[in-house]
């Protein structure tokens, strides 16, 4: 099975901006415990437009919404990758697991070469360090391949097991950056994906001060979004649908309860508030809305920098035709002008520190962040366990 990055003639793309989105890699039955492996493609996303609108003047809903936000495809890589090709990528533990389960991918040689690295192999006295070294080399080797395949930036996942260690995160990013430098990959082509713990946000602040671009993930509260913006993170990612899912089965989170009392979706409300904060107070961060479940979600987010849309939503938008006079619901919901009139409380305008941050984290953000970290940590552990079983690789 090979990976094709060739754009189909039916889709026109432009890539004027940068950020991140997930792509699912379908695996053979029984190859992993999950039905698909999630890996993210990041920054300089394609603006997708149906060729029919370009050829005939007919406007699709996809054309209409693309005037307000960059619409990012969440696509199945081997089935639909050519219809919605990404222009940037993320390399992660889940991607490495997918590569190892499909040995005929174009990236398998990069993993095998990492496992044959003499420096890592020489760490005989510490099997844990050896496996960690192999994992770092594999991430960077595959990331280097992706840099050659996509025009945008490639983001590298930072080990979630050090999510509460600021200096550990910084050391890990420096180590990865040095490996990329050794592979002649320029730093401007790279992002580093860091969980939005307080320690992760602090690491982002220090790394951005060095000129190293960061992408903060697992954002589920205004405190996280505002602290990430104050830190200068290049990309901040909020998971709209996950907050809604939590609110359907739980209560007692002040932020979510307040949104529901106003008759608002909690995920959409958080994106709106974070967007207005970023633009009203001049922060550089780009905001991304992820876990978008349907067209109604997407219409409610128009104006945000990036929207990650499932393939079924993109296909529906692409197949829906609008007349030139049909305004439908294509109204910009978020804009820098409207942000100027948005009101924040004194507590929300604080200069966030660890104490105020921890106090503002409600049960939804605490639980969802912990679940995300557990999932990422489990994947990183599985990679090292797998490498321990297959090292040394054959035919290298």
* Three-state SS annotation for the chain: CCCCCCCCCCEECCCCCCCEEEEEEECCCCCCCCCEEEEEEECCCCCCEEHHHHHHCCEEHHHHHHCCCEEEEECEHHHHCCCCCCCCEEECHHHHHHHHHCCCCCCHHHHHHHHCCHHHHCCCCCHHHHHHHHHHHHHHHHHHHHHHHCCCCEEEECCHHHCCCHHHHHHHHHHHHHHHHHCCCCHHHEEEEEECCHHHHHHHHHHHHCCCCEEEEEECCHHHHHHHHHHCCCEEEEEHHHHHHHHHHCCCCHHHHHHHHCCCCHHHHHHHHHHHHHHHCCCCCEEEEECCCCHHHHHHCECECEEEEEHHHHHHHHHCEECCCCCCCCCCCCCHHHHCCCCCCCCCCCCCCHHHHHHHCCHHHHHHHHHHHHHHHHHHHHHHHHHHHHCCCCCC
Catalytic position from the list 70, 193, 273, 318: 193
How large is the average pLDDT for residues 266-291?
Answer: 96
The model's pLDDT over 199-255, given as tens digits with 9 standing for 90+, comes to 999 999 999 999 999 999 999 999 999 999 999 999 999 999 999 999 999 999 999
Band of pLDDT at residue 79, cut at 50, 70 and 90: very low
* Per-residue pLDDT at 30 exceeds 60: no
Instruction: Say what the pLDDT of residue 207 is.
Output: 98
Q: Per-domain residue ranges for the chain?
A: 11-390
How large is the average pLDDT for residues 274-284?
Answer: 98
Q: Is 148 a catalytic residue?
A: no
The model's pLDDT over 96-147, given as tens digits with 9 standing for 90+, comes to 998 888 867 788 899 999 999 989 988 878 889 999 999 999 999 999 998 9
Band of pLDDT at residue 24, cut at 50, 70 and 90: very low
Query: What's the pTM?
Result: 0.81
* Per-residue pLDDT at 18 exceeds 80: no
The model's pLDDT over 154-203, given as tens digits with 9 standing for 90+, comes to 889 999 999 999 999 999 999 999 999 999 999 999 999 999 999 999 99
Fold classification of 11-390 is TIM Barrel (3.20.20)
How large is the average pLDDT for residues 270-283?
Answer: 98
* Per-residue pLDDT at 10 exceeds 50: no
Band of pLDDT at residue 54, cut at 50, 70 and 90: very low
Among 25-39, 72-86, 125-139, the minimum mean pLDDT is found in 25-39
């Amino acid at each position: 099975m090979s990976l094709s990055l060739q754009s189909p003639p039916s889709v026109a793309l432009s890539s004027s901006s940068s950020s991140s989105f997930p792509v699912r890699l379908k695996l053979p039955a029984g190859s992993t415990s999950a039905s698909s492996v999630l890996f993210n493609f990041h920054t300089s996303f394609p603006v997708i437009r149906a060729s029919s609108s370009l050829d005939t003047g007919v406007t699709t809903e996809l054309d209409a919404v693309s005037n307000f936000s960059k619409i990012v495809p969440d696509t199945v890589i081997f089935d639909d990758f050519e219809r919605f090709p990404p222009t940037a990528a993320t390399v992660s533990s889940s991607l490495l697991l997918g590569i190892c389960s499909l040995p005929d991918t174009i990236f398998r040689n990069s993993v095998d070469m990492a496992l044959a690295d003499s420096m890592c192999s020489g760490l005989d006295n510490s099997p844990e360090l050896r496996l960690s070294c192999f994992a770092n080399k594999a991430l960077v080797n595959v990331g280097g391949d992706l840099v050659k395949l996509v025009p945008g930036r490639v983001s590298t996942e930072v080990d979630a097991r050090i999510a509460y260690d600021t200096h550990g995160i910084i050391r890990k990013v420096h180590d990865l950056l040095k490996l990329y430098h050794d592979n002649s990959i320029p730093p401007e082509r790279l992002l580093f994906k860091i969980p939005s713990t307080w320690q992760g946000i602090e690491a982002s602040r220090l790394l951005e001060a060095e000129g190293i671009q960061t992408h903060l993930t697992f954002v589920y509260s205004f405190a996280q979004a505002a602290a990430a913006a104050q830190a200068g993170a290049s990309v901040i990612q909020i998971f709209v649908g996950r907050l809604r899912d939590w609110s359907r089965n739980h209560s007692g989170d002040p932020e979510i309860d307040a949104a529901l009392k106003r008759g608002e979706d909690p995920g959409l409300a958080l994106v709106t508030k974070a967007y207005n904060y970023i633009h009203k107070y001049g922060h550089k961060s780009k905001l991304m809305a992820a876990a978008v479940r349907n067209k109604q979600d997407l219409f409610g987010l128009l104006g945000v920098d990036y929207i990650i849309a499932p393939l079924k939503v993109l296909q529906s938008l692409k197949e829906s035709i609008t007349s030139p006079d049909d305004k439908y619901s294509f109204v910009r919901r978020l804009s820098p002008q409207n942000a100027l009139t948005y009101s924040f409380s004194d507590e929300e305008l604080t200069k966030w520190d660890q104490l105020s941050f921890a106090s503002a984290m409600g049960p939804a953000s605490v639980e969802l962040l912990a679940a995300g970290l557990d999932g990422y940590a489990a994947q990183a552990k599985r990679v090292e366990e797998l490498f321990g079983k297959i090292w040394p690789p054959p035919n290298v």
